[in-house]
Every structure is written in C-alpha cells, then in structure tokens.
Amino acid sequence: MLDKEGIAKRIAKEVKDGYYVNLGIGIPTLVANYIPNNIDVVLQSENGLLGMGPFPFEGEEDPDTINAGKQTITKLPGSAVFDSAMSFGMIRAKKVNLTILGAMEVSENGDIANWKIPGKMVKGMGGAMDLVASAENIIVAMQHVNKAGESKLLPNCTLPLTGIKCVKKIVTELAVLDVMPDGGFKLLERAPGVSVEEIKNATAGKLLIDGDVPEMVI
Amino acid sequence: MNKVVSGAQEAINDIKDGMTLMLGGFGLCGLPEKTILALAASGIKDLTCISNNAGVDDFGIGLLLRNRQVKKMISSYVGENAEFERQLLSGELEVELIPQGTLATRCMAAGYGMPAIFTPAGIGTEVAEGKEVRKFNGKDYLMEMAFDADFAIVKAWKGDTMGNLVYRSTARNFNPVMAMAGKVTIAEVEELVEPGELDPDHIHTPGIYVHRIFKGENYEKRVEQRTVRKR
C-alpha cells in the first residue's frame, strides 16, 4: 500500500519531457518533488503563473508570489505571469498537457466529484470545473476508499459533479487504473504488497482485469 | 486626464447600498485592501460582491461579511472563511459559486464589450442548471453572461496619474480583467507616478479603463499560507 508520497511518486512517472502541467492542491502538489531532473517540465498555477518553483527559503517569502493553494512559492528562470482570464484561456485551449487533481469520487465512466458535500462542506469549485472540462489528460490522485471504508471508485458519483466523462487515469494507495472509453476501471498495476482481491473489494464500480496485474515499480 | 483622488474614502463616496462591486485579488494576494477598509468603515450595505474568494474572517472581504454589508457573493472558492460558510449554510448570505475560469472570462467579456461567452466548464453539473447549452464541433458549451458591475475595485503595483497600471507577480490575477469590466473602476496602487514614468510597452491596464486612482499607504499584504523550505 502506498502513502501519499508514494502516490505522488507513481504519478510523477506519468509526467513527460516537454509537458506543461497543472497540479491541484493536496497529493498532486507533492508530485512536483518527484519529477525526474532529466526532463523539462513547466508547472502552471492557475492563479496566473507558468514556471512555478519550490517554496522560498525562510525570509525570502514574497506575499505577491503565491500558487493556486495560496502558498508562498518562487518563480523559476523563464517563468511568466499573466492574468486569470489568460490562465484559463490556456487551459481551455488545451495548451496545458497534463492536469493532476484530487477527487472525492470518480465514476466508472470518468465523472468526477470533488467540490461539494451538500449541507456540510461548501468551499467552491475554484478552477477544478474549468480544468476537467477542457483538459485532455487528467490523472486523479486519491484514496481508494473514504474514512468510513466506502469505495470512492463508483458506478455513479453520489456527490455533486465537477465534470463528466473526463478522468483518464487514477492512482490510489492500492492501484493504478485507467478509465475505459466504454466505461469501467481497468486495473493496470497493484501497489506493492496489495493483492488483486483487495483492490476488487475496495472498488464498487466495474473493475476490468485482463490477465496478470503487475506490481507497480516506483 | 488626471484620475487621482485623495484616497479610498473619496474613491468610494458614490457607492450606494445595493450596488454590485467587483473586487480584484486571488485569496489575499493582490487585494485592494485600502478600499475594502474604507468600505468596511462606510456602512454601505446590501452589496453584491464579485470576487474569486471571500477573504478570511478578519481581512479582505471577510471584513464586509462580518459587518453584514454583503447581500450576495459571486465567487469560485470560499474555503478560507468560516464566517462566510456559516452565513451561507444558515441562509443569511446569498451565494453564487461559479468556476474560476468562468468568473475571469465573464469579467473579460464585459471589458471587451461582448455580451456572453461559451465555456465547457460546468457542463453536466449543477452550474449548468437553467443555462443555455450550445454545441460547437460536437462538444457542449454553456453560455455565460458578461458581468454588469457598478464598480470595479483593483489593486496594482504602480500606476500613473492617467490611470495606467502595472501589476506585480501573481498579485496580477483578476485585477486586469476586473479593471476593464467596471462601469467605474477604482485603482489603488503602491506607487503613483507621473505620466511618462511608466514604459508604455510595460503597461498592463491602459488608463482608459481606470476612473479613479490613489496611492495606498502601508500595505499589509497578508499571507494565507506561509510555506518555506530549509536552506
């Protein structure tokens, strides 16, 4: 089973040379720490920055330089700043190659819910609806089951949707899965020490298993 | 073409109860903090505020919420404000949550003189309820209307007396598109200079969009999440 860092490490392997990547809040943010040094990647922060760098050294924080999670960050050489309309313009126009975000639920046809729990949590969707509606390559980083032990990979989402038929790949503490065009979660890899049986039990939606499922290499 | 006013108080002196305001900033970054303080002290009420976020409990738009000056918020993310969440869940505050890109683009549309835009954001979700859907090249898009705001209130780094503005780093965010979208636009700046001191090639918001400008003193620039790394 993977911890959060492990999920981030596995997702980092999906980041390719030359990509512009948008990382959501939470586990997706950690992915930045594991992108190999030998590939060239530019991180987009939807508040209006390309070329997001690491956190600043203590004492060098700039209140005018933050990421979409409102954290103080740095700008790498070659970075560019722009307004919010242009930021979502480049997302809508599919200039951003990969979007990695968290989810509360994903359905077997690729619907995603991650912004609202009616009556309980009302924080808003931020840029998530824009990202999932336009991005062609969306990876979801999430826990396979919720705190009550219920599967978050479902036949249909029960929470208000963020977007429909958009998730392509999911990485959880248990597995890597593709969402198939005709529906269903195709099991690609098992986390170290996790059996296919455990993944079956944790997946409420249709799970597609084709032959032996390799253990993931991180 | 001198747009200079004495300060925030003069800048807001004709904002009335029930008006619609746009406020720049992302989180607390690039927030027109001086004008918000003046609004909080003014007692103006029943405001509709269009802003990406709702501030925190004791800073930014949170100050207006605490005073019950806001009737309706139009935002994309309000997670940092407990008082906001309380007023929302209790029904005291009317809230329209919309996608962040939709918010920015509805500002842009107003500033470019376009009545509406089409975006895929929100298709198949509750955001699409009651809105016109149009199909282009086989994909569904929502029609979203340009905003109609009485005032836009923005924060820039530098400005000149003619209202030309330059922003700094990610404090730019919604400020340029909102500056373009108000019937009246108020800009507060850290540095106010004479015409000619800003390079025309470096101006982000041309002065034609700005009606009032003043220099704010002692910016607090509060940080929401101070994150650092070890040396």
Residue B36 within any structural domain of the chain: yes
Sign of CA dihedral B140, A114, A74, B22: positive
Res. A148 pLDDT band, cuts 50 70 90: very high
Res. A88 pLDDT band, cuts 50 70 90: very high
Residue B130 within any structural domain of the chain: no
Condensed to tens digits (0 to 9), the pLDDT of residues B42-78 reads 999 999 999 999 999 899 999 999 999 999 999 999 8
pLDDT score for A46: 96
Q: Which fold has domain A4-27+87-208?
A: Glutaconate Coenzyme A-transferase (3.40.1080)
Alpha helix ranges (H) inside chain A: 4-12, 27-31, 84-92, 128-134, 196-202
Q: Does ipTM surpass 0.90 in this model?
A: yes
Distance from CA of A58 to the nearest CA of B (A): 5
Extents of the domains making up chain A = 4-27+87-208
Query: Is the distance from CB of B205 to CB of B180 less than 8 angstroms?
Result: yes
Options A46, A105, A108, A173, the catalytic residue: A46
What CATH number does the domain containing B102 carry?
A: 3.40.1080.10
Question: SS3 sequence, A156-181?
Answer: CCCCCCCECCCCCEEECCCEEEEECC
Condensed to tens digits (0 to 9), the pLDDT of residues B166-214 reads 999 999 999 999 999 999 999 999 999 999 999 999 999 999 999 999 9
Report whether pLDDT(A122) > 80.
no
DSSP state of B111: H
Query: Is the distance from CB of B181 to CB of B49 less than 8 angstroms?
Result: no
Which residue is it, tokens 């298993």? A209
pLDDT score for A52: 96
Q: Which amino acid type is present at position B23?
A: L
Q: Which chain B residue lies closest to A47 (C-alpha atoms)?
A: B173
Condensed to tens digits (0 to 9), the pLDDT of residues A206-218 reads 999 999 999 999 8
pLDDT score for A164: 97
Condensed to tens digits (0 to 9), the pLDDT of residues B23-37 reads 999 999 999 999 999
Average pLDDT over residues A53-68: 96
Query: CA-based diameter of chain B, in Å?
Result: 54
Domain hosting residue B55, numbered range: 8-114+147-215
Query: Is the distance from CB of B53 to CB of B100 less than 8 angstroms?
Result: no
pLDDT score for B224: 92
Integer Cα distance of B92 and A23 in angstroms: 35
DSSP B165-183: EE--GGG-TTHHHHHTTEE
Q: Which of B33, B89, B97, B100 to mutate to test the interface with A (most CBs of A within 10 A)?
A: B100
Number of domains present in the structure of chain B: 1
Report whether pLDDT(A153) > 80.
yes
Residue A46 designated active-site: yes
